[in-house]
Structure 1
Amino acid sequence: MKAGSRFLNAVSAFALSTGLVVTGAGVATIAGTSIAEAAVVRNIEVRGATRVSPETVRANITIVPGKAFSNTDIDASVKRLFSTGYFSDVNITVSGGTLVVRVSENQLVNQVVFNGNRKIKDDKLQAAVRTQPLGPYSETTIESDIQAIKAAYAAIGRSDITVTTQTAPVAEGRVNLAFVINEGERTKIAQIDFVGNSAYSDGRLQSVIATKESGLFSFITRKDVYNPDKLRADEELLRQFYYNRGYADFRVVSSDATLDPSTNEYTITITVEEGDRYDFGPVTVESTVEGVSSDDLKGLVASREGNIYKAKDVQQTISEISRRVASQGYPFARVTPRGNRDFGSRTIAVDYLVDQGERAYVERIEIRGNTRTRDYVIRREFDVSEGDAFNQEMIARAKRRLEALGYFSAVNITTAQGTAADRVVVVVDVQDQSTGAFGIGAGYAAGSGGGLLLEASVEEKNFLGRGQYIRVAAGRGTDSRTYNISFTEPYFLGYRLAAGFDLFKNETDFDDDNYRYEDQGFSLRVAAPITENLSTTFRYNFTQLDYSGDLAELSAPYRRVVRDSPWTRSSISNTLTYNSLDDATLPHEGILASVTNEFAGLGGTSDFYKISGKAKFYYTLNDEADLIGSIGGSAGHVVKTTGQMEVFDQFQLGSNDIRGFERNGIGPRMANGDALGGQTYFTASAEATFPLPGLPRDTGLRGAVFADAGTLYGNTVNLFGEKAEGLDSSLRASVGVGLIWASPFGPLRVDYAVPIAKEDFDNVQNFKFGISSTF
């Protein structure tokens, strides 16, 4: 019997026992008197409850002896009793002055098991269902659990799953419950089509969205899983893509997914309207806030007349003006962009209006959906807290920060009316996602100490839900071994300071040179943001270096190093980093630059001052072809402060700086081939990358052409009368091609470079295989 029918029966029984008449108009009366005035009972009697105590039943009804009640109270009482899940039937009647509550109890679940599941473990399914051991057996709850299990499987691409249940009595009133699962075959995405696009090809748009066509490694990446929510998110990615390229009128007309039951594959069709492409027209700033000058704010405007219209430039301008005005003592100020399209010239004039917004305060921040990440990890990304002035831009900034953490698959922030007209409740809905990773990497380095390199690592970006980062890695090469441990607390002492440490140990056997090199040590670091794009990092570094080998085979500087080992280096350093890249993995636009100052001499063997820097600028050369260009450069200089500079304190250059040369392959060198390093270096590079023609872009394969140049020269090491080559500057250069693969195991890269300018004593390495990086 349905709950609604049982409720009507209960009301009817109550009406008959009290002489209650329910008229067609729905008004309940006894001899013309309302039920609220006439229906009063002296006590409440519970019948049929054996496992559930009568006190529990009474606690879940709204009727109180001695107090008048109405049919609304009957309705609420029946619903509350059913909502407990302990009862299969509820009947309420009145006998004289006694309210009689008759209940039929559900069976209790003794044990919940899952059969047939291989792709999702029991603990994951147990967390998804509401039916639990020692809880009530409820058909309604079990049906909801079946849908939850199906949703969990749909998330991994198994939409044709079937779930049934089996029960087995184990004692009076107790049953074992089994969910029997037929996982079926994994659904795939055979094709993603776009309709209405002319400015960009299907392949270019496929590279924008997160949903991918099924491919060779889809069983690892799981990017070919159809999910309606994921498709909605892809629509937003497409909007941002077009809005940031001048297409302000772009819209997604529809996105449909069709399943072919015969192949268990989806075909996704996304229909779009691109509209015209616009440039920025005249850009102005107007302020109606007394004490805030429009002229003072114009320098914060990122959008410039004549440039391609980009929504992110408008957002950046709003953010910068809001921050400046709030810092001047106007926390309620509001920045509103007003756009005026000129269809003839295809321009959009933007006027940023700064006015005094309505006074509102944050009553509370309510966080929902975080099953793993702790509340304070989310709250600390907000620059506002309970009681502060409500500022919409600060809320939007917090949303961007939460999304950038990588802890959540979805972040949604809404507002609700508080307890007063000027109070706002900020509601934060998040969905936790996996943040742990196990990685296996491989590389190859030629020359002594090189060969095949393998590394295994385990990392967690949200350790114990506290937002902490930890990584443990170990590597083994043909002639080398590496060990690393890193830990970072992103909010040290409650401030936005990322504090952490790194422990390392490296061992290398240089068989060709008959000596062994080992270094081990640690680094303590604290990083702090200065602006959204600029940050600074302070480090204390300690390294112990140990050389051993056949002294007769080494040059004088190395004989001294080996004879006097171990050496220690104790230094402090500061790095200033600017990062405006639009994407950390495959940047299309932006600058990544850093400058490091290091001073050694806080005890230990080394005494020197080093300054070094590097920068790389990315720019999209052709958007449709996804052709990305980059130019970069680096430089460094080291000087001794007191005493003798050691060989290992100087700069070394190789394949990571100028491709086509071995590690330590260029620069000053002894007659026997020992690399001395140099006091000064410069490098420059230019590169263009592009998707490989004829291959789906979802493979993650890109080609590259590049040119590198640089030099390493100068030496302050005592040569003990021996002669060395390359002490003066001499330009090296190379050109080459590369293959970049965004593999499921991390970004990998293979380069083939040919030196076009070199010295006779340089060591050449044409092939290079290893991890790809933005620098």
Structure 2
Amino acid sequence: MKLLLNFKKEREDLGKPVNKLTNILPFYTYIKLCIALLLLIVNCFNLQAQDLPYNSNKKYPIGKIKVQGNTSFAELTIINFSGLRKGQEINIPGEEIGSAIKKLWGTKLFNNIEIYLAKIQNDSAYLEIRLADLPQLNDLKVNGVKKSKIEGVIKDNKLKKGTKVTENLITTTKNFLTRKYKKDGFLNTKVHINTIDIKDSIKTSRVNMVLNIDKGTKVKISDITFTGNNAVSDKKLRKAMKSTKKINRLRVLKRSKFIDSAYQADLSSVIDKFKENGYRDARIISDSLIYNDDKTISLQINVNEGDPYTFGDIKFIGNTVYTDRELSNILRIRKGDTYNGVLLQKRIADNSKPDGNDLTNLYQNNGYLFSSIRQVEVSADDNVIDMEIRITEGKPAYFNNVSVVGNDKTNDHVVYRTLRTRPGGLYSKALVVRTVRELGQLGFFDAQEISPDFKNPNPVEGTIDMEYSVKETGSSQIELQGGYGGGGFIGTLGLSFNNFSIKDIFKKEAYKPIPMGDGQRLALRLQASRFYQTYSFQFSEPWLGGKKPVQFSTSISHTKQFLYDYINRRADKSRSFNITGITFGLAKRLTVPDDFFTLSNAISYQRYDLNNYNTGLFTFGDGFSNNLSYTVGLSRDNTSVDPIFPTGGSKFSATAELSFPYSAVNGVDYTALKEERNENQSILGSVSSTDLERTNAQNRISEIDQERYNWLEFYKVNFKGEWYTEITKNLVLRPLIEFGFLGAYNNDRGVIPFERFFVGGDGLGTYSLDGREAIQLRGYPNQSLSTQDGGTIYNKYSLELRYPITLKASAKIYGAAFVEAGNSYNSFKDFNPFNVKRSAGLGVRIFMPAFGLLGIDFGHGFDNALGETGKHGWETHFIIGQQF
């Protein structure tokens, strides 16, 4: 019988080195060799004795095909898998047999596949296929990892019950797991896989698998040294290695574990550091990994710096749109500068900054989508490199079709009015980047999923189609907000519809569950505690009239506050202070200095009613005050795409709230009233005054204060600025500064008792109650850093470091570490921007579309709150609701 082809696997132990100590084969090995030689002689004799007569140059029709071996498949099925058929003419040996073997292996169902020529009879070839079924995985046991990780190992390596167990599966699983754990710093990971055949009555071949994972300990880097470097120090080269760091217990953000892929990338960064310093020819000659006795490793890198180079002449070739001078001003590299290949590439095309100031963006932002720019070294004599910047400008490109896909809920006109790129308009990369940002800022789409896709680029005609792909997120929110402050629990319940459609409010079919799609905002809010209740309604239309981004907003609110009884520490419901207010506002996007600026205007009216509500802030307990004011604000917001987790840009806002200067026109002599009030105040404080005199004096003071506060007169200035900087990938630093001042036009009339600043805590109750403004300063109780009547000045500084855990649309989570400082003051005499209360802590924020921003902060106050003698210590703040 002739064996035509044999695809058996070789044993894994073949090729292992012989014993290096003796280099002599053991006795039993000689016995094995002798037996093998004897079998070989017998086999050769048998083959020769049974040699079948056939002509290798002749084709034979297949007479019959027989299948043998341990298999559960029918004979006909296996023959069909092989592609061979009775009557088919084949060469012996020939391509047909090889093809049949490959097909059988391709099914991934068999192993030990052999095809024999059984006999030649009547000029027909009789074949025999011998094979065995691949065993199925019956049971898997994983050792060496946590139980919670076993399911991931099974899923990643496709080791479910019934899987065909092949040598390739075993090898692939070993390699995958070894690489996986090495990436996590387990450099000595070893993976062993054993299979055990199951002997039972079931015909199907099955095995049990034992997967042993020995991760060992994480291998850390104790030292990184360089040799051959003279111009660039070891310290600078180690700093250039972003992901490969030696052990430093003071470093928190970067670990010192060894990951080979990151190490290889960092070696390229080392070369770039030399290039930044003029050493264009620098290269790494060798690098060594040395295992230390303390189970750490040391890295030794041998470099060849080469010679330093400088830039010579830089010529621009092919430019017609821009002059050499204009291009040189963007390139900002001059003859004689130290050669810096990294900087040169960034000035031509900075891939790390989509809006970078480089030559490529200069062309791309002005229509030249099809332009290309490359640098060529034309001479390097005497270590001076002459460069040519070769530019192919191409034709200006214009947008042909501009479309948006994925906006299933938001109406098309809301999305398209946001686009900066319009059909027929000149292509601009800056406008594409700006469009992506503003689509994300709408809050209707997942900012991480917005994708601009170029379609049908046509360099000949100079056209391009643009398709923006968006993914809707939940725009309506249930606001559940809670915290402890003011002597009790403060709870908030609200409904916020951020993509409302008021024009469909009377259409029954539009309620799915509410009318949506026009980008309007409708909010209903209830806030309550033992001491006050607040009800509010807000509505805003971002595009009033539908043609320009002019936002119209209105709000109505009503607040009832009860006086605190210091004796029984309860709210006295018979003594109340009510506020009813209404506000109308318009905000318009500006075009100068740039279109990130917004000018806002608002007119508001509040009615303050007091019912037996006497405090030290104002003396009339029964009466009213009116507040009619105008607010103007200028803001600039160019933060990056995601409003929940900005990674770049800044926000600034400056507002001024002004009342009418009544004292200038109403003819009231406030100087006289002030003197009269002081006289009556003296009567109250005099020991010799009678009870009747005190009662009359108190009544007169109340009458004077009622007249002073009949129509409130004041001005209020606020400033807030915050910046976002991505230090490394996804690690964002956010500095913030705030300042506020409440003043009076007429000092004799005095500063009003409303609209004051209350600093400390989680910021609950913002712009509620008596017009007070609650300023968040974590690490202290709510409003504990201001006097009972509130401050007229405050300042605050904050530094926050943020890192995202996940930015998926279903839940965006990030952690934050913060340091803060701030305080409030009663007048400029007391104001000292450095006399602040300090705190630091950690927090977590979770944004879910249905509930807004949830979070918890653990803050430590390093100074005392009012009424305390020592530092305040730890304070926990819960943030439940939409607070950015």
Query: Offset at 1:733?
Result: 11
What one-letter code is carried by the residue in structure 1 that aligns with 2:8? A
Checking the alignment, whether the CA contact within 8 Å between 2:659 and 2:715 is kept in structure 1 is no
SS in 1 for 2:71: coil
CA distance 1:111–1:709, shift in 2 (3 Å): closer
> So what's the TM-score if we normalise by structure 1?
0.52
The superposition leaves residues 279-308 of structure 1 with CA deviations (integer Å, 9 ceiling, x where unpaired) of 7655443218xxx54539945962124377
Q: Is the 8 A contact 2:223 2:246 kept in 1?
A: yes
CA contact (8 A) 2:583 2:604 kept: no
Which amino acid in 2 is paired with 1:563?
A: N
Matched, 1:212 2:235: no
Match of 1:263 in 2: 294
1:125 is displaced (CA, Å) by 0.8
CA contact (8 A) 1:190 1:267 kept: yes
Q: Within 5 A, what are the aligned runs for 1:680-691?
A: 680-681=717-718
Counterparts of 2:713 and 2:527, CA distance in 1: 17
- Which residue pairs with 2:654 in the alignment? 636
Amino acid corresponding to residue 263 of structure 1 in structure 2? D
User: Relative to 1, partners in 2 of residues 1:142 and 1:634: Cα closer, same or farther, differing over 3 Å?
Assistant: closer
Picking from 558, 562, 578, the partner of 1:563 is: 578
- Residues 189 and 16 of structure 1: CA distance in aligned 2, closer, same or farther (over 3 Å): farther
1:169 aligns with 2:198: yes
Partner of 1:286: 317
- The aligned runs of 1:328-343 (5 Å cut-off) are 331=370, 333-339=371-377
In the TM superposition, what is the alpha-carbon distance from 1:770 to its structure 2 partner? 5.6
Please report how far the alpha carbon of residue 143 of structure 1 lies from its aligned counterpart in structure 2 after TM superposition. Answer: 3.5
> In structure 1, what is the equivalent of residue 763 of structure 2?
none
- Aligned residue for 1:351, secondary structure, equals strand
Shift of 1:102: 1.7
1:45 is aligned to 66
User: Which of 338, 350, 361 pairs up with 1:320?
Assistant: 361
User: Aligned partners of 2:717, 2:391: CA distance in 1, in Å?
Assistant: 51
Q: Secondary structure at the match of 2:173?
A: helix
Whole-Å Cα distance in 2 between the matches of residues 224 and 524 of structure 1?
53
1:322–1:335 CA contact under 8 A, matched in 2: no
Residue 3 of structure 1 pairs with residue 8 of structure 2:
yes
Aligned to 1:457: none
Contact 1:468–1:487 (Cα < 8 Å) also in 2: no
Are 1:302 and 2:302 an aligned pair?
A: no
| Contact 2:314 2:389 (8 Å CA) reproduced | yes
Give SS of 1:767's match. strand
Tell me what 1:82 maps to. 105
* 1:100 lines up with 2:132 in the alignment: no
Asked if 1:144 corresponds to 2:144, the answer is no
SS of the equivalent of 1:748 reads strand
Give the number of the structure whose alpha-carbon radius of gyration is greater: 2
Task: Tell me: CA distance 1:279–1:720, structure 2 relative to 1, closer, same or farther (3 Å).
Answer: farther
Tell whether the 8 Å contact from 2:658 to 2:714 is kept in structure 1 after alignment. Answer: no
Q: Mark the CA change 1:736 to 1:134 in structure 2 (over 3 Å): closer, same or farther.
A: closer
Amino acid paired to 2:265: A
Structure-to-structure mapping, 1:546-561, within 5 angstroms: 547-550=559-562
Q: Give the aligned residue type for 1:759.
A: F
8 Å Cα contact 1:573-1:596 kept in structure 2? yes
Q: Please state whether the residue corresponding to 2:360 is helix, strand or coil.
A: helix
User: Residue 189 of structure 1 contacts residue 226 of structure 1 at CA under 8 Å; is this kept in 2?
Assistant: yes
- Output the CA distance in 1 between the equivalents of 2:165 and 2:279: 56
Give unmatched runs, 5+ long, in structure 1. 21-29, 358-392, 409-464, 490-498, 527-535, 554-560, 580-592, 617-629, 645-670, 691-696
Quote the RMSD (CA, aligned, Å).
6.8
Aligned residue number for residue 765 of structure 1? 836
Deviation at 1:92, TM superposition (A): 0.8
Q: Distance in 1 between matches of 2:650 and 2:365?
A: 33
Report how many residues are paired: 554
Q: Which amino acid aligns with 2:347?
A: D
Q: Give, as a single letter, the amino acid of the residue that structure 2 aligns with 1:315.
A: A
- The percentage of counterpart residues that share the same residue type is 15
Please report how far the alpha carbon of residue 522 of structure 1 lies from its aligned counterpart in structure 2 after TM superposition: 10
Instruction: Describe the shift of the 1:602–1:235 C-alpha distance in structure 2 as closer, same or farther (beyond 3 A).
Output: farther
Residue 175 of structure 2 aligns to a residue whose secondary structure is helix
Which amino acid counterpart does residue 294 of structure 2 have in structure 1? Answer: T
Supply the distance in 2 between the matched residues of 1:255 and 1:137 (Cα, whole angstroms).
39
Q: Classify 1:539/1:225 alpha carbon distance in 2 versus 1 (closer, same or farther; 3 Å).
A: farther
Amino acid at match of 2:257: V
Q: What is residue 260 of structure 2 aligned with on the other side?
A: 228
Structure 1 residues 127, 253: closer, same or farther in 2, change over 3 A? farther
Please state if 1:351 is matched with 2:374. Answer: no
**Contact 2:348–2:359 at 8 Å: present in 1 too?**
yes
Question: Which secondary structure state, in structure 2, belongs to the residue aligned with residue 320 of structure 1?
Answer: helix
Q: Is the 8 A contact 2:743 2:751 kept in 1?
A: no
CA–CA separation in structure 2 for the residues paired with 1:701 and 1:631: 11
Unaligned runs of 5+ in 2: 1-5, 12-42, 351-357, 396-428, 438-445, 450-469, 500-517, 566-575, 607-627, 640-647, 663-707, 756-791, 806-813, 844-883
Give me the whole-angstrom Cα distance separating, in 2, the residues matched to 1:481 and 1:237: 53
Question: What CA distance in whole angstroms lies between the structure 1 residues aligned with 2:823 and 2:290?
Answer: 50
* CA deviation vs aligned residue, 1:754-775 (integer Å, no higher than 9, x gap): 9999813558524143679xx9
Q: Decide whether aligned partners of structure 1 residues 2 and 46 sit closer, same or farther in structure 2, where only a CA change above 3 A counts.
A: closer
Render the CA deviation track for 1:649-669: whole Å, top value 9, x for unaligned: xxxxxxxxxxxxxxxxxxxxx
* More off after superposition, 500-509 vs 206-215: 500-509
User: Offset at 1:264?
Assistant: 2.7
CA distances 1:357-400 after superposition (whole Å, capped 9, x unpaired): 9xxxxxxxxxxxxxxxxxxxxxxxxxxxxxxxxxxx99xx9xxx
Post-superposition CA distance 1:510-566 (Å, at most 9, x none) = 99xx7677989899999xxxxxxxxx999898988664424699xxxxxxx962358
Letter in 2 for 1:595: F
Closer, same or farther: CA 3–114 of 1 in aligned 2, 3 Å: same
- 8 Å Cα contact 1:208-1:241 kept in structure 2: no
For 2:208, give the aligned amino acid.
N
1:610 aligns with 2:633: yes
Partner Cα distance (1:476, 1:282) in 2: 67
Distance 1:522 1:242 in 2: 59
Separation (CA, whole Å) in 2 of partners of 1:537 and 1:87: 68
Contact 2:497 2:523 in 1 (8 A): no
Match among 179, 182, 193 for residue 211 of structure 2? 179
Question: How has the CA–CA distance of structure 1 residues 130 and 710 changed in structure 2, closer, same or farther, with 3 Å as cutoff?
Answer: closer
Amino acid at match of 2:829: D
SS at 2:331 equivalent: coil
Letter in 1 for 2:597: V
- Output the CA distance in 1 between the equivalents of 2:825 and 2:749: 33
Q: Equivalent residue of 1:336, what SS?
A: strand
1:248-288 Cα offsets, whole Å, 9 max, x none, are 5554444443333x433222334445567777655443218
Q: CA deviation at 1:610?
A: 2.9
Alpha-carbon distance change, 137 to 739 in structure 1, aligned in 2, over 3 angstroms: closer
Question: 1:187/1:482 Cα in 2 relative to 1: closer, same or farther (>3 Å)?
Answer: farther
Distance 1:244 1:520 in 2: 59
Q: Say if 1:599 and 1:353 are closer, same or farther in 2 by CA, change over 3 A.
A: same
- 1:750 to 2:819 alignment: yes
Higher strand residue share: 1
